[in-house]
Amino acid sequence: MCGIFGYIGHKDAAKVAIAGLKRLEYRGYDSSGIAGIQDGEIVYCKKAGKIAVMEKAVKKKGYNLNVAIAHTRWATHGKATEKNAHPHLDSNKTLAVVHNGIIENHDTLRTMLEEKGVTFVSETDTEVIAHLISDIYDGDILAAVQKALPLMEGSFAIALVHKNHPEEIVVAARENPLAIGIGDGETFISSDTNSFVAHTKKVVFIKDDEVAVVKAKGIKIYDHAKEPVKKKTETLTMTQGEVSKDGYEHFMLKEIYEQPQTIRNALLSRFIEKDGTVVLEDMTFSEEELLEVERIVILACGTSWHAGIIGGYIIEDKARIPVQVEISSEFRYKNPILYDNTLVIAISQSGETADTIAAMKECRAKGAKILGICNVHGSTIAREADSCLFLRAGTEIGVASTKAFTSQLVVLALFALSMARMRKAISKKEGKEFIHELMKLPVIVENVLANAKDIKKIAKKYAKYDNFFFIGRRYMFPSSLEGALKLKEISYINANAYPAGEMKHGPIALINKKSPIVAFFANKHTYEKMLSNVMEVKARNGRVIAIASKGMGKAAKIADDIIWVPKICDELAPIPSSVAAQLLAYYIAYERGTEIDQPRNLAKSVTVE
């Protein structure tokens, strides 16, 4: 979940690398560092804390570099200290390496190197890479890296510089994203193309166990057998302007307010209203292949898992296909059973979630077809899936996902409608009605956002509490899971979500005046049952914040506070309710003074298992 950036060319390499690193800070912000070659020697600087701390130190050193590698860290092995920050060097300071991922056999390699007299100075698995390559090196840095890779178990992306090879950076990857941007007399390396898109849109992606020698005016790539590889140069479509705060105090708030437009983007040109059906231009599966689908398995983590649960409900309701929704990190260890005609849907905002990619590969090995749903063109899931539907949500910088979540729900709803109409599970009239509901969403979300001041007042009232419950039924249960996650992520409040009917089977024992309950009412089918469940809470002195559709007057009578959302069909009600919950979480976190865009211990792109 760390971020790697490298630059070689005619510009100030330290300045370019630090600017690129700032655009990767969402991937980790425990510590950062930079290394390069100056006057034939490795120079480096690394600091604990945000990139700005390291940047200040680098300016004082006054480096003059035309090659640099840089890193922003999310700690895995070793605490977030200066000595554990990247880059890591070998004992003689002949090379420096930055790394994203996990070296699973680092203990074995460390022991082997210590027996050769190597002294380690950090707790990290990354330092093993520096010493290992240095131990193998005999004048050919490419050969040393190629020999080291088979000795390293795990997943990783690495970039290194060596003082004897001052005009090149050597990079390698295995099950971790690494992109090379090709400019005019300059070359960029990064974990995310977003970090160099302002300089070039020409990109090459490094695949498993490929090694590249990167120079200012060209690259050479070799496969695991050390044979040269010809790579296709791709062209990025994103622009730098997508990552500006545009006057908002936080990226998260900006992204919450972007949702009317991102929902429009997700819907654009993807349905035929008069026919009550859907056209997914990204879909490469034929109608015959989709008609053969008898079962769907959805794989995802975190927020994407919550979207997957809701999407699974919609698919079952509309298309009448059985759906199994699995947490990716658990699925691959289950010895899963995948019948013929099973379609696997892998959902990830970044397209780089390691657990989901690993689970996806497990399914592919068992013969399943894979449909990806992600937000990033050129990501691993986008490249590895048999077909991929894109969210069109634009770059999401806030660690706590908002607009990507609602876009995932829209894309899943469109897919469900497509399958339903294809299989004649619903009529043309029913298809048109569902499309009309989808078309209402942007305005409905705008109406929720118009009530932000009222939500802010409620948030201020409840921000002092350290324990929350979120409850809902049917479509509102996974919505409550997502609402609780948002509050946990950015306010550090202990927020737990339950199906409302399960409260009386244990959790109700914890209800008290100091543990508010956020109750999601906006599912018409279960409204009366929710009223009964909330009355059980009120009978035990619980304080209730209701999120309810307009017209649900009984909810207002029993709740202590209420957030109104516009009416919409049950299948799509999670969207306005979730936007309301996003605002509630944001304003509670704001009131508590937490770091909203970069909450502690979290990273945006989870690229380790």
The pLDDT tens digits of the residues spanning 261-311 come to 999 999 999 999 999 999 998 899 999 999 999 999 999 999 999 999 999
pLDDT of 460 above 60: yes
Look at residue 239 in the predicted model and tell me its pLDDT: 58
Minimum mean pLDDT range among 24-33, 209-218, 220-229, 528-537: 24-33
What pLDDT is attached to residue 282? 86
Phi, psi of 328 (to 5 degrees): -55, -40
- Is residue 312 pLDDT above 60, yes or no? yes
Torsion of CA 443, 449, 455, 459, to 10 degrees: 130
Structure confidence at residue 243 as a pLDDT band (50, 70, 90)? low
CA distances to 18, 74, 348, 605 from 51, in Å: 8, 12, 27, 18
Identify the pLDDT of residue 532.
82
pLDDT at 602: 61
**Residue 551 confidence (pLDDT):** 86
Range in 182-191, 227-236, 543-552 with the lowest mean pLDDT: 227-236
Whole-number Å distance between alpha carbons of 173 and 211 = 7
Predicted pLDDT at 77: 60
Amino acid at 580: A
Q: Is the pLDDT of residue 242 over 80?
A: no
Q: Around Cβ 388, how many Cβ atoms within 10 Å?
A: 22
Summarised one tens digit per residue, pLDDT across range 117-172 is 999 999 888 999 999 999 999 999 999 999 999 999 988 999 999 999 999 999 99
C-alpha 332: how far from chain center: 19
What DSSP assignment string belongs to 405-459?
Answer: HHHHHHHHHHHHHHHHHHTTSS-HHHHHHHHHHHHHHHHHHHHHHHTHHHHHHHH
| Domains assigned to the chain | 3-242 (3.60.20.10), 251-446 (3.40.50.10490), 458-592 (3.40.50.10490)
Residues forming the active site: 2, 604
Average pLDDT of 543-556? 89
Indicate whether 607 pLDDT > 70: no
Angstrom CA distances, 540 to 236, 517, 537, stand at 56, 12, 5
Q: Which residue has the higher pLDDT, 350 or 402?
A: 402
pTM: 0.80
- Cβ(208)–Cβ(173) below 8 Å: yes
372-376, 449-453, 509-513, 527-531: range with lowest mean pLDDT: 509-513
pLDDT bin (cut points 50, 70, 90) of residue 10 is: very high
- Residue 5: the pLDDT is 93
By mean pLDDT, which of 51-65, 486-500, 573-587 is the weakest?
Answer: 51-65
Position 457 pLDDT exceeds 80: yes
Residue whose C-alpha is closest to residue 341's, from 375, 390, 292: 292
For residue 124, give the nearest of 166, 170, 158 by alpha carbon.
Answer: 158
pLDDT at residue 313 above 90? yes
Alpha carbons 445 and 390: distance in angstroms, whole number: 21
- Which of 126-140, 231-245, 429-443 bottoms out in mean pLDDT, i.e. has the lowest? 231-245
Q: How confident is the model at residue 465 (pLDDT cuts 50, 70, 90)?
A: very high
For residue range 185-226, list pLDDT tens digits in order: 999 999 888 889 889 989 999 988 999 999 999 999 999 888
Report pLDDT for 260: 96
User: What is the reported pLDDT for 380?
Assistant: 87
Mean pLDDT, residues 454-483: 95
pLDDT band at 338, cuts 50/70/90?
confident
- What percentage of the chain reaches a pLDDT higher than 90? 65
Average pLDDT, the chain: 90
Q: What is the pLDDT confidence band of residue 232, given thresholds at 50, 70 and 90?
A: confident
What is the signed CA dihedral for 566, 571, 575, 578, rounded to 10 degrees? 100
Per-residue pLDDT, averaged over 330-351, amounts to 88
Of residues 397 and 565, more confidence is placed in: 565
- Pinpoint the alpha helices (H) of 492-565: 527-538, 553-558
Lowest average pLDDT, out of 325-334, 417-426, 572-581, goes to 325-334
Query: What pLDDT score does 231 carry?
Result: 85
Can you tell me the mean pLDDT for 546-559? 89
Per residue in 53-106, pLDDT tens?
Answer: 988 988 998 888 999 999 988 666 667 788 888 899 999 999 999 998 889 999
Residue type, 364: R
Q: Would you state the pLDDT for residue 605?
A: 53
Question: What was the pLDDT predicted at 564?
Answer: 95
Q: Which residue has the tokens 């509490």?
A: 465
Instruction: Look at residue 175 and tell me whether its pLDDT is greater than 70.
Output: yes
